[in-house]
Chains A and B, each alone.
Chain A
Amino acid sequence: MENHLEALRQKKGWTQQELADRVLVSRQTIISLENGRYNPSILLAFRLARVFGMQIEDIFIYSDNEVEYE
């Protein structure tokens, strides 16, 4: 899923590790999120929204093509 995480993080001046510590995940998870390879759980999405003081929809861009079947 596309998102504005990297831009928002850089705007705050945080490193990936700092953001990871704030939302209780590993740095690798932040890297994957920023690259759009990993979609966060609803809880992580809320934590991210909270640390940036925004709504989830302002961070993550949902489109109808996001449905993923395995």
Chain B
Amino acid sequence: MSNSTNWMAARVRLGWILLAAGLLTGIAGVWAETQYGGLPFNTRIITGVGILLVGLGIANLVRYRAALNDERSARRITVEERDERSLLIRHRAGYRAFWAAFALVYAGLMWVSFAANGSLPEMSTDALWFFLAGCTVLPLGVYIASMLVDERRL
């Protein structure tokens, strides 16, 4: 087996693991929903995580399983995903997104700390939701923007 096929086989294994974990989590979510109606949180969250894992598993399997028996496709996909320039671009984007997320979370932490001693108003539930949504979306935006800029620059 070549390096490419080995790498591809590892991705396929990961796909099966994600799929199995997703199915188990999904079943656990449905089971919890039907058996324990009075839990203090919505058990559909567990089912949702399960569905996400199943999706990731299937995506891995669809992308890599066909290439497993085709050396040329395996090599092409391996080169595409391990290309050092693409890796550099992704790492730089990840680095910038990390600092964007860090700055946002730090700002939120400061707000909560100042709110606790009355220096700032308390964050309402709605404001907290928007803030957390921003903490998710803005770093993703930074990541994508960084990828686009570096794709042209490098």
Interface footprint category on A: 10 to 19
CA distance A21 to B154 in the complex (A): 20
A41 vs B153: C-alpha distance in the bound complex, in angstroms? 17
Q: Which residues of A contact B83 (CB under 8 A)?
A: 25-26, 28-29
Number of B residues contacting the other chain (C-beta, 8 Å)?
A: 10
Is the pair B154, A44 in contact by a Cβ cutoff of 8 Å?
no
Q: Does B73 belong to the interface (CB within 8 Å)?
A: no
Residues of A within 8 A of B86 (CB): 26, 28-29
Those of A38-60 within 8 Å (CB) of chain B: 38, 40-41, 43-44
Docked complex Cα distance between A43 and B82 (Å): 13
Contact of B85 among A21, A24, A25, A43 (CB under 8 A): A25
Distance, CA A44 to CA B84, complexed state (A):
9
Cα A20 to Cα B85 in complex, Å, equals: 12
CB contact list, B82-134 vs A, under 8 A: 82-86, 88
Measuring CB to CB, which residues of chain A are less than 8 angstroms from any residue of chain B?
20-21, 24-26, 28-29, 32, 37-38, 40-41, 43-44
Chain B contacts to A: CB under 8 angstroms? 79-80, 82-86, 88, 153-154
